[in-house]
């Protein structure tokens, strides 16, 4: 049986739901049993059509990009104002801290141990390699041009590095050597082509890279069967976070987590490529189950289960199925 490498996922990833108060200095404390100072905070107001906002410690507090548009990086002194030892502090910006807002934040700690790295570089317009610090092969890479309004470029090991997807669009996978130069990443570098999205000359660019850690994170794919008895996806842990995309069709990216839905079936998805509010009606088309060792697809709809179509995912643990000593874990 596969054992985890990380007994307490809360040291490296947490989901936080909170209510906005519309006032500067709103400190958000993460819920975990251990302190975690996040390096990437991805926020979304749940009850309104507000943008998905991403802040990270490499670019610095107050600097943000949106996942649902191709806008260049901006600075907002009233957005996320600091990364704290166990959370973050907000200003009075409506995207992150609306007085009548319910919000969610997905938070990652930059750490080779947990397989997450943030890389900032300057484009040169030529095929090249970029160093990273994972000491493992990345399974998922998301790149955003900070200087110019360019689309997000995403790569996932399950579709191969000849292809890419776009965070800010619902389009199917794209085949272009301009993104990754048809070259798979290694344990020390990733390759970018000549696309302005990943390598525009003199532009500042940010890349988020994840490698897989047994019992803590999983990046893979499954084939849809268009049946309510859909695929079972073995993860080796009870998930806290699940993001999925149909690569063969024009369907939204979807994010589920264990704080917005606290029991099965899970249906309160948010769309990284859209600013739309969270769904509050369970119509059966978005249903999945979070299980002690994986995910069960409960929808026959194309966005989650298109017949014969490939869907890619990334998932992070609430609790490992078996801890590092080989002892079965009780889901927290």
> Which residues does residue 84 pair with via DSSP β-bridges, in sequence order?
87
Q: Which two tokens stand for residue 165?
A: 């997807």
pLDDT tens, 81-115? 999 999 999 999 999 999 999 999 999 999 999 99
pLDDT greater than 90 at residue 328: no
pLDDT greater than 90 at residue 223: yes
pLDDT tens, 231-262? 999 999 999 999 999 999 999 999 999 999 99
Omega before 290 cis (within 30°)?
no
Does an H or E element contain 179, and which?
helix 177-180
At residue 206, the 3 state secondary structure works out as: strand
pLDDT tens, 262-281? 999 999 999 999 999 998 87
Residue 320: predicted pLDDT:
78
**Cα–Cα distance between 321 and 215 in angstroms, integer?**
7
Poorest-pLDDT segment among 1-10, 111-120, 206-215, 261-270: 1-10
Residue 15: predicted pLDDT:
97
Q: Residues near 55 by Cβ (< 8 Å), separated by ≥ 6?
A: 40, 41, 43, 61, 62, 63, 64, 79, 80, 88
**Cα–Cα distance between 309 and 248 in angstroms, integer?**
6
* pLDDT band at residue 331 under the 50/70/90 scheme: very low
- For residues 84 and 140, the answer to whether their CB atoms sit within 8 Å is no
Q: Residues near 173 by Cβ (< 8 Å), separated by ≥ 6?
A: 159, 163, 164, 165, 247, 248
pLDDT greater than 50 at residue 211: yes
pLDDT greater than 60 at residue 330: no
Residue 1: predicted pLDDT:
46
pTM: 0.95
pLDDT tens, 125-180? 999 999 999 999 999 999 999 999 999 999 999 999 999 999 999 999 999 999 99
pLDDT tens, 13-46? 999 999 999 999 999 999 988 899 999 999 999 9
> Which residues does residue 288 pair with via DSSP β-bridges, in sequence order?
266, 297
- How confident is the model over 285-293, as a mean pLDDT? 93
- For residues 173 and 156, the answer to whether their CB atoms sit within 8 Å is no
pLDDT greater than 90 at residue 7: no
- How confident is the model over 293-314, as a mean pLDDT? 96
Q: Which two tokens stand for residue 256?
A: 């589920």
């Amino acid at each position: 049986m596969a054992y985890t490498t990380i007994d307490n996922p809360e040291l490296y990833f947490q989901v936080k739901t909170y209510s906005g108060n519309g006032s500067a200095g709103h400190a958000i404390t993460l819920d975990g049993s251990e302190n975690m100072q996040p390096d990437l905070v991805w926020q979304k107001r749940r009850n309104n059509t507000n943008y998905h906002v991403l802040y990270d410690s490499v670019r610095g507090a107050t600097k943000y990009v949106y996942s649902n548009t191709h806008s260049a990086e901006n600075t907002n002194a009233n957005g996320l104002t600091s990364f704290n030892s166990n959370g973050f502090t907000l200003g009075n910006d409506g995207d992150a801290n609306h007085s009548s807002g319910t919000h969610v934040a997905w938070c990652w700690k930059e750490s080779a141990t947990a397989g997450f790295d943030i890389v900032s570089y300057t484009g040169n317009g030529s095929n090249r390699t970029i160093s990273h610090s994972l000491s493992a092969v990345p399974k998922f890479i998301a790149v955003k041009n900070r200087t110019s309004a360019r689309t997000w470029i995403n790569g996932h090991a399950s579709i191969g590095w000849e292809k890419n997807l776009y965070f800010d669009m619902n389009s199917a996978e794209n085949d272009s050597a301009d993104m990754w130069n048809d070259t798979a990443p290694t344990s020390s570098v990733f390759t970018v082509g000549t696309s302005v999205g990943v390598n525009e000359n003199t532009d500042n660019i940010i890349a988020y890279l994840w490698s897989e850690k047994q019992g803590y994170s999983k990046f893979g794919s499954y084939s849809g069967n268009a049946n309510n008895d859909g695929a079972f996806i073995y993860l080796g842990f009870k998930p806290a976070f699940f993001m999925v995309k149909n690569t063969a069709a024009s369907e939204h990216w979807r994010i589920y987590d264990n704080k917005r839905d606290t029991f099965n079936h899970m249906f309160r998805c948010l769309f990284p490529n859209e600013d739309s509010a969270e769904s509050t009606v369970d119509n059966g088309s978005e249903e999945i189950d979070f299980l002690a060792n994986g995910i069960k697809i409960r929808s026959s709809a194309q966005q989650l289960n298109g017949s014969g179509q490939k869907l890619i995912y990334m998932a992070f643990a609430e609790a490992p199925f078996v801890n590092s000593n080989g002892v079965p874990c009780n889901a927290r």
